[in-house]
Amino acid sequence: MKFFIDTADTDEIKDLAATGMVDGVTTNPSLAATSGKSFIELITEICAVVDGPVSAEVTATDFPTMMKEAEVLRKIADNVAIKVPLIPDGLKACKALTDDGTMVNVTLCFSPAQALLTAKAGATFVSPFVGRLDDIGADGMGLIDEICNIYANYDYETEVLVASIRSPMHVVEAARMGAHVATMPPKTLRQLYQHPLTDKGLKAFLDDWTKSGQSILG
């Protein structure tokens, strides 16, 4: 499973990229608006740190303007994935861009029907938002299961990029279902490492070692 981080905080991206666990980055207009940088500057900076796909979202909602914005964004770096909303013009742009060899992430997916349309449009990634579904009392992870099953029926190449993740269990369940990618806030990636028995066990090992008076380095 690939791990993307969902943030526009470049310090966090640099810090987590150094762990070797970051396969890509997703941003959205709300996250970008909080970065204090121009969007072009922000995406350029992220692409210089992470080799994998970096999602940069268009803000137009009509096909011609989306294509113009995509043209600007995809020139930033080879690893830019153009993010488009799951609306008719977004899927039209998705088809045109992927036909032209550009990676496309279709965002704001909330139903299996929308995910099916996205695969037919040739998207590189579909982003179903699990947390936002859970927020309204729906079953976010159930949607991931349905999409994974539907895509497997047809061998679609579109990768399921689980988005709007709120906890480590979302990541683990997504992996169990065979989703290709999980994009998560930096905090969730850090939480994946944590287990109280690891901390307790390590402390006991090191206390015993200290008592022995030995050192591996002599």
* Residues that are catalytic: 83
Among 39, 110, 125, 129, binds ligand E4P (CB under 6 A): 129
Question: Any contact of residue 6 with ligand E4P (CB under 6 A)?
Answer: yes
How many whole angstroms separate alpha carbon 182 and alpha carbon 132?
15
Which run of H or of E encompasses 172? Answer: helix 168-177
Question: Any contact of residue 102 with ligand E4P (CB under 6 A)?
Answer: no
The single residue listed with the structure tokens 């991931």 is: 144
Q: Could you please report the per-residue DSSP string of 105-133?
A: EEEEE-SHHHHHHHHHTT-SEEEEBHHHH
Could you tell me how many residues of this chain bind ligand E4P (CB under 6 A)? 11
Q: Considering only residues 181-210, where is the footprint of ligand E4P by CB under 6 A?
A: 183
Q: Closest CB to ligand E4P among 148 and 209?
A: 148
Based on C-alpha coordinates, what's the Rg of the chain? 20
Question: Any contact of residue 28 with ligand E4P (CB under 6 A)?
Answer: yes
Among 98, 124, 127, 188, binds ligand E4P (CB under 6 A): 127
Using CB under 6 A, which of the segments 60-68, 114-122, 128-136, 146-154 binds ligand E4P? 128-136
Among 14, 92, 132, 190, binds ligand E4P (CB under 6 A): 132
CB under 8 Å to 121, separation ≥6 — which residues?
91, 92, 94, 95, 98, 106
Question: Any contact of residue 158 with ligand E4P (CB under 6 A)?
Answer: no
How many whole angstroms separate alpha carbon 71 and alpha carbon 165?
29
How many whole angstroms separate alpha carbon 167 and alpha carbon 184?
8
Site residues, ligand E4P (CB under 6 A): 6, 26, 28, 107, 127, 129, 131-132, 163-164, 183
